[in-house]
Amino acid sequence: MSNTAFPRIGIFDSGIGGLSVLRAVRQRLPAAALTYIADSLHTPWGERPGGWITARCTQLAGWLIDHGADLVLVACNTGTTQAIGALRARWPGQHFVGVEPGIKPAVAASRNGRVVVMATTGTLRSARLQQLVARHADGAQVLQLPCPGLADAIEAAGADPLPLQLQLAAIARTIADSGADTVVLGCTHYPLVADALQALLGPGVQLLDTADAVARRVASLLDSTPDRTPAASQPPPLHMLATAHPAALQHAAQRWLGHGGAVQLLQLPADADSGRA
């Protein structure tokens, strides 16, 4: 990220899921210079130990900060619940925004008091998720539905859509059996298949995604950042990087964002001996 009058936002996720948040940020802040890192070398993060996730988030955030990010957006529910406290402690003067399952708005929106939280195992086992449920359930039944493998299936759907279709069908049956009328999409990958899941659930179940709320939070923090007046004379850049398989991110960005730009391979020091590219 070069020195520019555009506000500079660094975004990272375990893979393509953060594109759902990037899309909302671009809509709200069209004059922002964005850099997106997909950690495709290690996707998914949902089943990994908390210490590993914190270390990886620290490495990715550090790279973005070193390259000039005014704000770092952790576009991953697992990364946020496991690591954002450590990131804020490491860089106390840096703006950070994370994404968390929208328990509070889901409970408020539910008509029958039954809510399902779809998330990775890592997010569901986090203390932060349990705190959100305890604080905001307000008497509602909150079913925590682990979705192991779903993020992987979304990543691979371009090449083989059948595993994704089978998983979504099974998830829809579980949600229907629960009687819930509101579903929290607790992983940034999941909004990418929200239309398909909605079609299986029918109009009586509403899906809740927090991407727009996250984008509003990003905008509010950048409003308080000095000397970041957008320059109207040139289009803001969007830089996309992947720690492996850049062509897969390029394909996903074209599909979900309509962005056809090149994706750069990012090799971090800890990845040098991985043997994957």
Tens-digit pLDDT profile for residues 18-36: 999 999 999 999 999 999 9
pLDDT of residue 277: 36
pLDDT of residue 3: 46
CATH annotation of 8-99+212-271: 3.40.50.1860
Choice among 33, 185, 187, 241 that is catalytic: 187
**Containing H/E element for 163?**
helix 162-178
Displacement of CA 79 from its chain's centroid (Å):
9
pLDDT of residue 233: 56
Q: Which of 51, 67, 49, 50 is nearest to 12 (CA)?
A: 67
- Model pLDDT for residues 37-54, shown as the tens digit of each residue: 999 999 999 889 999 999
Most trustworthy range by pLDDT among 1-5, 130-134, 230-234: 130-134
Please tell me the distance from the alpha carbon of residue 233 to that of residue 40, in angstroms, as a whole number: 34
114 DSSP β-pair partners:
141
Please tell me the distance from the alpha carbon of residue 88 to that of residue 154, in angstroms, as a whole number: 30
Phi, psi of 162 (to 5 degrees): -60, -45
pLDDT of residue 125: 92
Query: What residues does each domain of the chain span?
Result: 8-99+212-271, 103-209
pLDDT at 229 over 70: no
Please tell me the distance from the alpha carbon of residue 197 to that of residue 201, in angstroms, as a whole number: 6
76 is catalytic: yes
pLDDT of residue 76: 96
Calculate mean pLDDT across residues 205-234: 80
Percentage of residues in the chain with pLDDT exceeding 90?
83
Calculate mean pLDDT across residues 168-179: 98
* pTM exceeding 0.85: yes
Calculate mean pLDDT across residues 264-270: 91
Q: How confident is the model at residue 270 (pLDDT cuts 50, 70, 90)?
A: confident
Choice among 76, 106, 107, 184 that is catalytic: 76
What's the one-letter identity of residue 223? Answer: D
Query: In the CATH scheme, what architecture does the domain 103-209 have?
Result: 3-Layer(aba) Sandwich (3.40)
Q: How confident is the model at residue 261 (pLDDT cuts 50, 70, 90)?
A: confident
Q: List residues forming the annotated binding site for substrate.
A: 13-14, 77-78, 188-189
Q: Which two tokens stand for residue 221?
A: 């923090």
pLDDT at 272 over 80: no
**Which DSSP symbol is given to 270?**
G
CA distances from 11 to 101, 142, 256 (A): 18, 30, 16
Domains 8-99+212-271 and 103-209 share a fold: yes
Q: List residues forming the annotated binding site.
A: 13-14, 77-78, 188-189
